[in-house]
Amino acid sequence: MAAVNSVSFSTVSQFSDRRSPIPSARSLASNFDGFRFRSSVFYHHSGVRTSSFSSRLVIHCMSTGTDVTTVAETKLNFLKAYKRPIPSIYNSVLQELIVQQHLMRYKRTYRYDPVFALGFVTVYDQLMDGYPSDEDREAIFQAYIKALNEDPEQYRIDAQKLEEWARSQSAASLVEFASKEGEVESILKDIAERAASKGSFSYSRFFAIGLFRLLELANATEPSILEKLCAALNVDKKSVDRDLDVYRNLLSKLVQAKELLKEYVDREKKKRDERAGSQTANEAVTK
Domain ranges of the chain: 71-262
pLDDT at position 68:
74
pTM of the full predicted structure?
A: 0.72
Yes or no: say if 73 and 102 are a contact pair by the CB < 8 Å rule: no
Q: How big is the chain, counted in residues?
A: 287
Say how far apart CA 83 and CA 106 lie, in whole Å.
25
pLDDT by position in tens, the chain (length 287): 444 443 444 444 433 343 444 455 555 555 555 554 333 332 333 333 333 333 333 334 444 445 678 999 999 999 999 999 998 888 988 999 999 999 999 988 888 999 999 999 999 998 898 888 899 999 999 999 999 999 999 999 999 999 999 999 999 999 999 999 999 999 999 999 999 987 678 899 999 999 999 999 999 988 899 999 999 999 999 999 999 998 888 778 777 877 877 787 788 888 888 887 777 767 777 76
Neighbouring residues of 141: CB distance < 8 A, sequence distance ≥ 6: 124, 128, 152
Label residue 50 left, alpha or beta by phi (over 0 means left) and psi (-120 to 50 means alpha): beta
DSSP 111: B
Interacting residues of 101 by C-beta distance below 8 A, sequence separation 6+: 37, 120, 148, 206
Residues 6+ positions from 47 with CB-CB distance below 8 Å: 79, 85, 91
